Amino acid sequence: MSRLIVISNRVAVPAGARTPGGLAVGLYDALRDSGGTWLGWNGEIGEGPGDMPLSSVTRDNITYATFPLAQRDYDRFYRGFSNTVLWPAFHYRPDLLRYRRADYDGYLEVNRDFARRLAPVLRPDDVIWVHDYHLLPLGQYCRDLGVRNRIGFFLHIPFPAAPVFETIPPHRDLARAMCAYDVAGFQTHADAQAFSDYCATNLGAVAAPEGLRVNERVLRVDTYPIGIDVDEVAAMARKKGSRQLVALKSELARRKLIISVDRLDYSKGLLERFAAFEHLLEIEPDHGRDVSFVQLAPSSRADVQGYREIRRELDRAAGRINGKWGELGWAPLRYINRQYNRATLMPLLGASQVGLVTPLRDGMNLVAKEYVASQPQDDPGVLVLSRFAGAAHDMQDGALIVNPYDIEGMAHALNMALRMPLAERQERHQRLMRILRERDLAAWKNRFLGDLRAGG
């Protein structure tokens, strides 16, 4: 089997013999089976002007090739164009887009640097798999250096409709560069269709039996919804809880628990979620005596202005809700900005009666799937899920699907979830588990790599 080369913005070299859970496990297994390299930024910021040294370490048949970014590259590539242009636009928030040509130049330069680092280590039959919005033009820069290997690209976040994508000033150049890949994978059919429609309208692409034909190249555009390792999540949820979890359960006593886990981000709908919980307490005051809501939202990108603002707004909202509805010895809303490992999170998800996953826009949202997989079969909780999460396409038959802009609708869904009879909860959970097993992490990985290798 040909080697696999995975490229992503961030690479975490495992401290032990195995990487952490989630997506890293799927990529780890694919790399270990075929042998290969995982190339990317190590998360550190160097002091030099550029050309940071490449470090390599090999474990379990995988070579981790990582390098720091210079401060200037971090500011323009990561903090700049990636997170103040691509992230808001791809999450349908062009009002938050802040475009600077210098940032775009820095974005392109870092992508060129990735390609320059990659080209010398390639073998003729290597298969290359590029991940996410930080590296949209990487395939084109590889082609410019003479790379003829099969190169696939997978976008983990949404791809916006053409009128939104066109708010990015260099939208045409970005889309044209993406056509240098052999396979472009998206989370949902709507995302794949949006990209195809844009290319047809703006680049003259035409549909062909083997894919999308753009000039002389043919690009396969398809949907590959990412999944989870269901058995791993279920096993972690059954393990004895951490000290934090034991303390939380003791403090909550017999109260039902609503749980949400998100990165602190304006795309996650946290303010709307807080408002829905407050409305639930207004329309169903009985829940004020038997329900607690825990929102875990570790801070991210704290050096981007928009993220500092959303944190201040959430702090104010949490204080208002607890001040209005709290009692001596009990706060209805626990809003926590700490990061917890999966060994703590999975038992906490499993102990919660409602999983509240209501992003304003999300590529997939694996927390929704982890919540379902963590639930006990004999007494499962209920997933309340935004229709704008990619996971809703797979899970609408068992979750309560809501519009995160409808505060009253979310509150009523929460009430329905909290009062749902056991038999209905079990039936919904069984349906969702069948879907999770059919479209798990291995299925996502195998199908994408199968399509990528099939054209070689």
Query: Are the beta carbons of 68 and 92 closer than 8 angstroms?
Result: no
* Percent of the residues in the chain that have a pLDDT greater than 90, as a whole number: 76
What is the average pLDDT score of the chain? Answer: 91
The per-residue pLDDT for 307 is 75
d(C-alpha 445, C-alpha 448), whole Å: 5
Q: Which of 73, 103, 132, 362 is catalytic?
A: 362
Same domain, 195 and 243: no
Strands 291-296 and 127-131: what pairing? unpaired
Same domain, 411 and 300: yes
d(C-alpha 354, C-alpha 348), whole Å: 11
H and E: helices and strands count for the chain: 19, 16
- DSSP letters, 391-427, are THHHHTTTSEEE-TT-HHHHHHHHHHHHH--HHHHHH
d(C-alpha 219, C-alpha 91), whole Å: 24
> Quick check: helix, strand or coil at residue 10?
strand
d(C-alpha 359, C-alpha 93), whole Å: 13
Say which residue, 109 or 311, is predicted with more confidence.
109
Same domain, 14 and 160: yes
d(C-alpha 79, C-alpha 110), whole Å: 13
**Domain of residue 166, residue span:** 4-227+441-454
Same domain, 448 and 428: no
Same domain, 146 and 104: yes
Same domain, 37 and 112: yes
Active site residue 131: no
d(C-alpha 142, C-alpha 114), whole Å: 9
Same domain, 223 and 234: no
The number of folded domains in the chain is: 2
- DSSP letters, 266-289, are GGG-HHHHHHHHHHHHHH-TTHHH
- State pLDDT tens for residues 83-108: 999 999 999 999 999 999 999 999 99
We report the CATH number of the domain holding residue 416 as 3.40.50.2000
pLDDT at 21 over 60: no
Same domain, 111 and 133: yes
d(C-alpha 296, C-alpha 258), whole Å: 11
Phi, psi of 415 (to 5 degrees): -60, -40
Helix orientation angle between 305-325 and 270-283, rounded to the nearest 10 degrees? 10
The per-residue pLDDT for 30 is 77
pLDDT at 329 over 50: yes
- State pLDDT tens for residues 401-426: 999 999 999 999 999 999 999 999 99
Same domain, 353 and 423: yes
The per-residue pLDDT for 256 is 92
Length of the chain: 456
Compute, in degrees rounded to 10, the torsion defined by CA atoms 99, 7, 230, 2. 150
- The single-letter code of the amino acid at 293 is F
Same domain, 202 and 237: no
Among 448, 399, 360, residue whose Cα is nearest residue 155: 448
Same domain, 145 and 279: no
Q: Which of 133-137, 232-236, 241-245 has the lowest mean pLDDT?
A: 241-245
The per-residue pLDDT for 16 is 54
pLDDT at 282 over 60: yes
Handedness of CA 173, 175, 179, 180 (dihedral sign): positive
Q: CA 247, 249, 253 angle in degrees (round to 5)?
A: 120
Query: Are the beta carbons of 265 and 302 closer than 8 angstroms?
Result: no
Active site residue 303: no
Strands 150-154 and 62-70: what pairing? unpaired
- State pLDDT tens for residues 47-87: 766 667 889 999 888 999 999 999 999 999 999 999 999 99
- State pLDDT tens for residues 348-386: 999 999 999 999 999 999 999 999 999 999 999 999 999
Same domain, 221 and 353: no
Q: Which of 91, 131, 134, 156 is catalytic?
A: 156
Cβ atoms within 10 Å of 382's Cβ, excluding its own: 28
